[in-house]
């Protein structure tokens, strides 16, 4: 994990607009994701992580959306 930052919604939106390679992943449960999620969010699950890792260039920023930053931090530490 090179860098972990807590950023607000405005900073995340700006980063996604400024960098076309930046990706947003949502690691919340399927019910929460189904109710509401960012339009460009990729629903990252145990079933989709292999496909995601094959598609993404990890030199680009990956923003992780979850309930609390704790889960995102653990996920990023193993990627």
Clarify whether 66 is annotated catalytic: yes
Active-site annotation holder among 66, 73, 75, 76: 66
Residue 51, H or E segment: helix 49-55
N-terminal to C-terminal alpha carbon distance within the chain:
7
Residues known to be catalytic: 66
């Amino acid at each position: 994990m090179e860098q972990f930052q807590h950023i607000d919604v405005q900073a995340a939106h700006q980063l996604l607009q400024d960098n076309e390679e930046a990706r947003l992943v949502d690691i919340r449960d399927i019910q929460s994701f189904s109710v509401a999620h960012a339009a460009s969010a990729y629903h990252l699950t145990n079933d989709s992580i292999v496909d995601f890792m094959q598609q993404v260039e990890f030199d680009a920023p990956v923003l992780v959306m979850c309930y609390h930053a704790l889960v995102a931090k653990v996920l990023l530490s193993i990627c």
